[in-house]
Structure formats: structure tokens, C-alpha cells
Amino acid sequence: MKQKVWKVALGELLDVEGVVAEEVMSKDEVMLLPAGVSLSALRETQPDVVSLLLKHGVTHVKVKNVPAITAGEFRTALGSVTPAVTELNPLLTKIAIHQFGAIYENIEDRSLRERGIRTMLTIAARLPGEIRRTPQITLSLVGVEDRDRERSHIHSINVALLTGYIAQRLFPVLPAFVEACVLGGLFHDIGKAFFPHFSWRGAGGGLLPGDAKIFNCHPLLGESLMKDVGVRDVHVLGAVRSHHEKWEGAGVPDRLREEDIPMAARIVAVANRFENLTSSLLEEDPHRSDQAISTVIGLTSSDFDSRIVRGLLASIGLYPPGTVALLSDQRVGIVLETKERDLLCPRVLICADARGRRVSPFETLKIRKEGNVYIKEALDDFSRRRLEPYVPAAAG
């Protein structure tokens, strides 16, 4: 578990959560504040501590986060929730990441490349089953190595899953189409494999003219690669070729408009943008899921088909799974799942009480419309990708 230590100005000491990281001594070596003391306890028992420290010329205090929830604990907690919240098959995800890695590394070798993509198609065929097995998006995906390339593969898998959830919700009676959408989502950026040394960070904004050319041709390269390996499904090919088209016709590569954009591509486009906004791969300062939803909604009509944006919203809710939520009674929890009819009333895993102390064992709470506890605001994301520990102190 990563421990975070930061300096807090004296004036803010009693407004943050955490524990004192290092003992604070006066100039003549008198202990003013012992290490390990909880700031919330200090607030209650020694509210005049700030003036005492000030008197001794202290300006900052080092604070560290309170014990956080590890990925392992969180998984255990998920398992204890009734009814169970299913995690998407982590092994399948790991295999898919590995296989993506193989495809990218072998891109120079034509035969290996084709074999790699065929293997990936076989793996991908299991994803729609996973989506049907888990009707609500839940916290998903495994922790990954902190390597850009692996994270870009995670991006493709996230887009595939999100595309699948939206497609499943909008077209529940067309399983073959949902499957094609998942494949389209998975391979939407395969054309980027032709540029292994090109940095895609910031793609879609702030590119140099030369970079923009590379960026603009990856959908076409991807489509021809998929054709090369024998993919004939028009929905899959359409998703790969047209996922950067925009609803009002300002996209690439064909400047298609509205209904002319293949449906699978419209779904991948929304999933891709949402995933990019929340991803630490492309954004220096990733959006929280609820902020990303607002951004995507703001781009409806210029970039996206409004029906698909509604599908995204219905799939993940206003407070998507993984959102760290501050409740009206000051408790903090993680949103586990949202039901379509009740976007404001998800199920929440309570992790910290009103004073920021861990709740053990974790409890779940169903937010109810008629109840008096509601989500006051979203705090920070409990990352879907890296399952980093949730830290109430940093979140506040």
C-alpha cells in the first residue's frame, strides 16, 4: 500500500484528515506533537494545538494518510456483499493484455501479427459472455504494471467492455451486433500498432501537424489490418474505421455525418472518449467518472449521437461504480453498482465513518430516494484500472 506524506500549512491542519507523520519538536527539543496522532482526534481533544505550534514558530506539519483499503481487502469486501457484486473475470483480462502486448511487439512480422490477432479474436469472443453474466458494470479490471504500453492495452479492453455494456443496453435483442461492437471496441486503435514509438499521450488535442497526420490515418490502417486477417463483419470494420467520426461531420477519416456513421462506431466513439477522459494514460489530470460524464454530455450533438450518450448514462449512472462518494451524513463509501431506473440511488460500500475512521467490517448501503442519506458529492476515483488503495484523508 502506498503511503502518502504531505506538508500541511498550520492554518489548515485541523481541516484535513490523516495522522501526524513526523514528530514536531520545538527549537529547544521539547515534543510539541507526537508522530502518529490522528488529526481528527486532535481536533476534538486539543483544538488550541494550532496556536501552541504557532507560538513555537512551526509553520507546517507533515501529515500522512490514514490506513487505506488495499486492493486485496477491497476484493474480499466485494465478495462479502449480498447479493454479490461480480467482478469481471480478471484472468481473462490479464490474458487479453498479454495478447495485445504480443500483437504490438510482432507488428513487423506479418504472419505472427495475423496469428496474434486471430488469437485475440478468440479471447475477445468471451467478453460478451462476461458482459451478459454481469448485467451491471461493476468495479473491474486487474491491477497492472505501471507501464504505458500495458495501460494502452487496458484502455482498449475498457473501451470494449464499455462499448459492450452500452450496446447491450440499447440492443438487447441483437447479441451478434453486441458482439461485433465489443470486437470493434477492442480493436478500434489497432492501427496505432504501426507507430510503436509514437506517443499517443494527448492524442486528439494539441497534436503537431505531423502527429495529426499519423493520428488521422490510424483508423484506416486498423481497418485494412482487420481485413487482412479475414475480418468481414461490417460492424467491426465500421467501428475501427469510423470511431473518430463526429456527429456533425467534423471527424476523420471520411467526415461522415449523423446516421451515416455506422452505429457500432458511434458507440465506440462515446466509450472511447469517456475512457480517455478518465484514463491516466492520456490525461495528465484524469477526470473523475462523474466529471467525464458531464463532459461527454456536453459534447452531445457536436460529436456524439444523443441516444448513445443516454445509453452510457444508463449503463454507468451519474455516480459510476468506483466513484468515491461523500454521503450527506459525512460517511464515505465506494459506489458498487447503479440501477438504470435509479441513477441517483446506487449501492455503496461504506468505508469510513463520519470522522474518517475505517469501518470494519465494511458495510453496504442502498441509497434510497425516500431515505434521508444521499450522495452529497463525488470525491476521488477508486481507480478501475490500478485498484489503488482508497484514501479517505487524501480524498477530503
Residue ranges that bind Fe ion, judged by CB under 5 A = 189
Task: Tell the burial category of 122 from Cβ atoms under 10 Å away from its Cβ (0-12, 13-18, 19+).
Answer: exposed
Q: Is 49 or 96 the residue whose CB approaches Fe ion more closely?
A: 96
Amino acid, res. 129: G
To Fe ion, the closest distance from the beta carbon of 343 in angstroms equals: 29
Instruction: Tell me the closest approach of the beta carbon of residue 268 to Fe ion, in angstroms.
Output: 9
Task: Give strand pairing partners of 364.
Answer: 349
Instruction: Name which of 189 and 275 has its Cβ closer to Fe ion.
Output: 189
User: How far apart are CB 122 and Fe ion at their closest, in Å?
Assistant: 23
Shorter beta-carbon distance to Fe ion: residue 18 or 185: 185
CB neighbour class for 240 (10 Å; exposed up to 12, middle 13-18, buried from 19): buried
Helix (H, G, I), strand (E, B) or coil at 33: strand
CB-nearer residue toward Fe ion: 73 or 275? 275
Least Cβ distance, residue 186 to Fe ion (angstroms)? 12
> Which C-beta is closer to Fe ion: that of 189 or that of 290?
189
Which long-range CB contacts under 8 A does 345-349 form with residues at least 24 apart?
345/369, 346/317, 346/319, 346/321, 346/375, 347/81, 347/85, 348/375, 349/77, 349/78, 349/81
* Amino acid residing at 381: D
First to last CA, the chain: 19
State the DSSP H helix or E strand holding residue 344, giving kind and residue range, or none if neither. Answer: strand 342-352
Between 187 and 362, name the residue whose CB sits nearer to Fe ion. Answer: 187
CB neighbours of residue 201 within 10 Å: 12
> How many C-beta neighbours within 10 Å does residue 125 have?
12
Q: Which is nearer to Fe ion, 134 or 276 (CB)?
A: 276
Distance in Å, CB of 383 to Fe ion, minimum:
22
Closest approach, Cβ 218 to Fe ion, in A, equals 6
Nearer to Fe ion, 240 or 395 (CB): 240
State in angstroms the smallest separation of the CB of 162 from Fe ion: 14
Residue 242 CA to residue 245 CA, distance in Å, equals 5
Q: Judged by CB, which is closer to Fe ion: 223, or 337?
A: 223
- Asked if 314 and 362 count as a contact pair (C-beta separation under 8 A), the reply is no
Shortest Å, Cβ 192 to Fe ion: 7
What whole-number distance in Å separates Cα of residue 187 and Cα of residue 233?
13
| Nearest distance from C-beta of residue 156 to Fe ion, angstroms | 10
Separation of alpha carbons 137 and 99, rounded Å: 23
List b or e across 292-323, with b for residues whose CB sees 16 or more CB atoms inside 10 angstroms: bbeebeeebeebbbeebbbbbbbbbbbbbbbb
Residue nearest to Fe ion (CB): 189
Least distance from C-beta 244 to Fe ion, angstroms?
6
Closer residue to Fe ion in complex, CB, 218/331: 218
Nearest Cα to Cα of residue 96 among 72, 118, 120: 120
